[in-house]
Amino acid sequence: MENLIEYIAKALVDDPEGVSVKCVDESSQSYELYVGADDRGKIIGRKGRTANAIRTILAAATGDDAGAHLEIID
């Protein structure tokens, strides 16, 4: 799952080297996405649409109704 999040994030930002993903809790599927301060807006998107789309993809990939929890950190 970390590879999927990292792949999507690197495709969206200007500085792909500044992207990293950390698994906070494997059982609840909680992840933290670290991006540079300049790229945070690109990951979140207008009114959070891009972030919600990423979370929707994660929910589909897990096959779980609850999905994965993703927190975006700069």
Is the four-CA dihedral 35, 46, 7, 69 of positive or negative sign? positive
Backbone phi, then psi, for 67, in 5-degree steps?
Answer: 70, -165
pLDDT tens sequence across 29-55: 899 999 999 999 999 999 999 999 999
Contacts of 26 (CB under 8 A, 6+ apart): none
Q: Rounded to whole angstroms, how far apart are CA atoms 10 and 34?
A: 11
pLDDT at 65 over 70: no
Residue 64 has pLDDT above 80, yes or no: no
Give the chain's domains with CATH numbers.
Answer: 2-73 (3.30.300.20)
Element housing 26 (H / E): none
Q: What's the pTM? A: 0.87
pLDDT for residue 74: 76
